[in-house]
Amino acid sequence: MRRPTVVLFSYTGDVERVCAAAMRSCYSNFPAFHVYTIRDRGDLSEAPLTDERVQELIQRARRLGHLSVLEHGLFTFDLENISRACTHQLVRHRIASFSQQSQRHVRIDEETDWYAIPPSLDVDSQRKFEERMRTVASWYSEDSKRGRKIEDARFYLPNATKTNIVVSMNPRELLHVYELRCGAEAQWEIRAVAWAMLACSKLVAPSIFSKIAHKASNAYLEEKEEELGRILSKLRPHFEKAIPGKNMEIPLATLNLGLDVQAFVYKR
Ligand SMILES: Cc1cc2nc3c(=O)[nH]c(=O)nc-3n(C[C@H](O)[C@H](O)[C@H](O)COP(=O)(O)OP(=O)(O)OC[C@H]3O[C@@H](n4cnc5c(N)ncnc54)[C@H](O)[C@@H]3O)c2cc1C
């Protein structure tokens, strides 16, 4: 079965130092690059940008709402085997870049699990759902086999159709997306995908993504963030030591996301 999968495969490796240098440069006589490299220069006219200082500057930026400094960096995710319903929701986020598998050029393979099944369906409803999907697939293949372009046959396809999409966002927009999409009120699929993306983001940039703000106090969010913290604190030493080129899986089972989504971070 093709499971929904999130892969963070490209990211600004020193994103937290870059954002912290940008933050500090707003309040210093020194420009950002000077602040960024000060540790190497041994210059005492400005405090060195230690890991603690990076963390403190980022926390201050988040606390003050000085969020433009968190726009200096990019995270690119590969999202695989998620439904078109989910990507419709995702692409509403405008401060992002997307590239989605084309239904004009890529045929669905009717012999595979080409559609997502809502986990809320009981056995009987699932059987009926799958039966209906087989009917849809038969319309799709009948039309496309008659030599018509699949750009027309695709009109039969439902929101459940699986797709792949690449998405790039800066850390500020990611924080916004997580605030909206990780909460209990978000829909089950985009919520699980957002948690998987958050897990990847936290592994790479723990200070920027330290805590997701939410309008109301939210036990759901807090409980899951605590559990994710436990998962990542075990994994982080292995990730730091991992050899570049390795794809590290973040085990998400104990987050109980209601969807069997996989998350990976590519070690650069
Ligand atoms: C639980 C939930 C239910 C939803 N239900 C529906 C629904 O029923 N129907 C529906 O149509 N949508 C629905 N949405 C989508 C929602 O309305 C937004 O389109 C989506 O969440 C994108 O968020 P955004 O506009 O804040 O941010 P983004 O597009 O991610 O932009 C980030 C921020 O940039 C700023 N910004 C971006 N563009 C503009 C602009 N043109 N003008 C001013 N400021 C801008 C805003 O501050 C915005 O918050 C739902 C979303 C959620 C989370």
* All structural domains of the chain: 5-99+163-266 (3.30.1360.170), 105-160 (no CATH)
Which residue matches tokens 């990507």? 87
Instruction: Give pLDDT < 50 ranges for the chain.
Output: none
CB 25 within 8 A of CB 32: yes
CB 6 within 8 A of CB 201: no
Measured by CA distance, the residue closest to atom 1 of ligand 1 is 186
pLDDT confidence of residue 40: 59
pLDDT confidence of residue 181: 96
pLDDT confidence of residue 138: 95
Could you tell me whether strands 5-11 and 247-250 are parallel, antiparallel, or unpaired per DSSP bridges?
A: unpaired
Whether the CB of 185 sits within 6 Å of ligand 1: yes
226-268 residue pLDDT tens: 999 999 999 999 999 999 999 999 999 999 999 999 999 999 9
pLDDT confidence of residue 44: 64
Closest-CA residue to 75 (of 249, 245, 211, 196): 196
Whether the CB of 215 sits within 6 Å of ligand 1: no
CA distance 177 to 5: 18
pLDDT confidence of residue 149: 86
Ligand 1 pocket test, pick from 71, 172, 176, 215 with the greatest ligand atom count within 8 Å of Cβ, gives 176
Query: Rounded to two decimals, what is the model's pTM?
Result: 0.96
pLDDT confidence of residue 213: 74
CA distance 132 to 158: 11
Three-state DSSP at 223 gives helix
Residue tagged active-site, from 172, 181, 230, 268: 181
Whether the CB of 204 sits within 6 Å of ligand 1: no
What long-range pairs does 156-159 form, CB within 8 A, spacing at least 24? 157/84, 157/103, 157/108, 158/84, 158/115, 158/133, 159/83, 159/84, 159/85, 159/88
Residue 146's identity, in one-letter code, is R
CA distance 43 to 46: 7
Residue 181 annotated as catalytic: yes
